[in-house]
Amino acid sequence: MRSRLFRILPTLSNLIRLPTFRTAPRPLNTTTLKSMPSIPFLSALFGGLSTNTKNTMTSSYPDQRTEDEWRAVLSPEQFRVLREQGTEQPNTGTYNKHAPTSGVYTCAGCKAPLYTAQHKFASGCGWPAYFDSIPGAVVRHEDSSLGMLRVEIVCANCGGHLGHVFRGEGFPTPIDERHCVNSVSLSFVEGDGEGRKEKGGEGEGKGESK
C-alpha cells in the first residue's frame, strides 16, 4: 500500500504543476530628441540672400561694378544692404521721418534717381515709404527668402537692393502700394535733382547723405 502511494505522488505533482510563462523583456523607455527646425527668417531678415540668388539678380543691369569696386565707394552698412540684400533695423534710418516738400531720392550706390519727395508718405512702418517711383527707376523681383512670397525692389541701374513693395494695405495714397525702402539704400538731392546726379564709381563720401 505504501509503495503504491509513493508511485502515485510523483504523478500527482506532475498533474498540478503550474505552467511557467515567459514574458518578453520590456523595451527601454527611450525618448527620441528631435532638433528644432531652422527658422530662416531670423537670419534672412537682417542678413542677406544666398550668393546664387544675388548673382542672378545683379547680372543684367547697366552698372556692372565688381564687389571690390562697390566696397570702395560704399560704407560697410550700405554694402550689406545694397549688395547683399540686407535690411536695416526699423526706426533707425535717416529718411524714415524725412518729409521734404521737394527733392529727389537717389540710389546711394549709383546715384540714379528713384523717388521724388511727392512720392513719400508717412506709413508708420519704421522705414521710408513711397507709393510710387520715378518711371523705369525700380525693378521688381519675386523674393521667397522668408518662407513667403514677397516682391523685392531694386535699382534699375545697378541692381542695388532697396527693399520690398506691398499692395492693398489701404493707405490713402493715389496708388495702393507701399515701397518699403531702406534709408541706407538712398541719398537725397534737394530741388528737382537735375544737374546734381553723381556718376557712379566716383564715391563722394561713404554713408548716407542728406
> Among all residues, which ones are annotated catalytic?
180
Q: CB within 8 A of 130, min separation 6: which ones?
A: 105, 115, 119, 120, 121, 178, 179, 181
Q: CB within 8 A of 82, min separation 6: which ones?
A: 70, 74, 107, 108, 109, 160, 161, 184, 185
